[in-house]
Amino acid sequence: MKSVPRIVLFLFLIFTTSLGFCKSTSDQDPTPTPWPHQFHSIMVMNYSGILQVINLWYDWPNGRNFNIIQHQLGNVLYDLEWNNGTSFFYTLDSSKECSSAQLEVGILRPNWLDGARYLGQQHVDGFLCNVWEKVDFIWYYEDVVTKRPVHWVFYTGREAHVMTFEVGAALEDAMWQAPVYCFDNKTSAAASITSISANIMVDRVLKGLVQLLEAAFIRSQLVCATAVNQPGLDISVCCIA
Ligand SMILES: *[C@@H]1O[C@H](CO)[C@@H](O)[C@H](O)[C@H]1NC(C)=O
Ligand SMILES: *[C@@H]1O[C@H](CO)[C@@H](O)[C@H](O)[C@H]1NC(C)=O
Ligand SMILES: *[C@@H]1O[C@H](CO)[C@@H](O)[C@H](O)[C@H]1NC(C)=O
């Protein structure tokens, strides 16, 4: 488990050294609408032709974020993120697999798009959108009229198409409980990077984990890009000037 942040930091060093962080945007440009403090969104994801449906439950007041990932004709992977930096990745099927990761940062803040660079308007998925780019990690498309997110694309090419956006929707508490095998050292997968590497070719969940680590890494970048407002976060983790 300890090695996970090291991977994140390693990727982070690779990808950030040439990027300009913490830049700001001009005053007259439109600004992205902050995320509602609670919402539910169904998204279709396309990652180089691999399709997933994600149920995203964002719950800022309770400091938690849930991605429930349905792989096409495949398993369901639960990616549960807490604001204390702990994430759990698990299945609820008979394979009973669970991994966890400890990040330096918590979940995205509602204002995580602050300071994004405005790129103008563009039609995407049939909607006229304002487009912003944030620290070279994400391109974000918001409907000009309704101000709802329509689409976003990560620098990896992983793209999200927002299908529903229910402001105020909250998932009941019981659903946020990671299964007991996440807390049992014997059955938990991927306690170290060695076991991740050993299993990576054969284990779908671990493949999912690597993808999620990448997602977690992107998340930490985005959280860090708003770190100015986040007391207690060591900015040296975030901004390599
Ligand atoms: C998914 O993205 C690929 C490009 O990476 C594209 O060729 C394909 O048409 C997309 N599939 C869907 C269903 O949007
Ligand atoms: C973070 O919070 C979750 C949920 O309450 C808990 O399971 C986890 O152990 C916590 N992690 C740390 C590092 O305290
Ligand atoms: C799992 O390991 C940790 C330390 O490595 C220990 O504190 C904890 O009690 C163990 N839990 C179980 C269920 O064995």
Ligand 3 site, residue 184, Cβ cutoff 6 A = yes
pLDDT for 24 beyond 60:
no
Convert the pLDDT of each residue in 178-217 to its tens digit: 999 998 765 444 333 333 333 333 344 444 555 555 666 6
pLDDT at 209: 52
Ligand 3 geometric centre to CA of 184 (Å): 7
Task: Give the ligand 1 atom nearest the CA of 157.
Answer: 5
Q: How far apart are the first and last CA of the chain?
A: 28
Q: What is the mean pLDDT of residues 163-171?
A: 98
Strands 159-167 and 117-124, sheet pairing: unpaired
**Does the pLDDT of residue 66 top 90, yes or no?**
yes
Percentage, residues of the chain above pLDDT 90: 45
Number of domains into which the chain is organized: 1
Smallest CA-to-CA distance from 119 within 134, 104, 97, 109 is with 134
Residue 149 — very low, low, confident or very high, per pLDDT cuts 50/70/90?
very high
Neighbours of 89 (CB within 10 A): 28
Closest Cα partner for 168 from 53, 59, 54, 65?
59
Domain span including residue 197: 3-237
Pick from 5-9, 58-62, 70-74: least confident: 5-9
Q: Which of 82, 88, 188 to mutate to test the pocket of ligand 2 (most atoms within 8 A of CB)?
A: 82
Which of 30, 23, 65, 45 has the alpha carbon at shortest distance from 152? 45
Tokens 């912003």 -> residue = 132
What token pair was written down for 55?
């149920």
CB 89 within 8 A of CB 209: yes
pLDDT at 56 (0 to 100): 96
148 three-state secondary structure: coil
Identify the CA nearest to 36 among candidates 96, 113, 136: 113
pLDDT at 212: 59
Residues 94-117: what's their mean pLDDT? 86
Q: How far apart are CA 131 and CA 114, in angstroms?
A: 13
Domain at 105, CATH number: 2.50.20.30
Which residue did the predictor score with more confidence, 151 or 18? 151
Q: What pTM value is reported for the model?
A: 0.75
126 burial via Cβ count (<10 Å: 0-12, 13-18, 19+): exposed
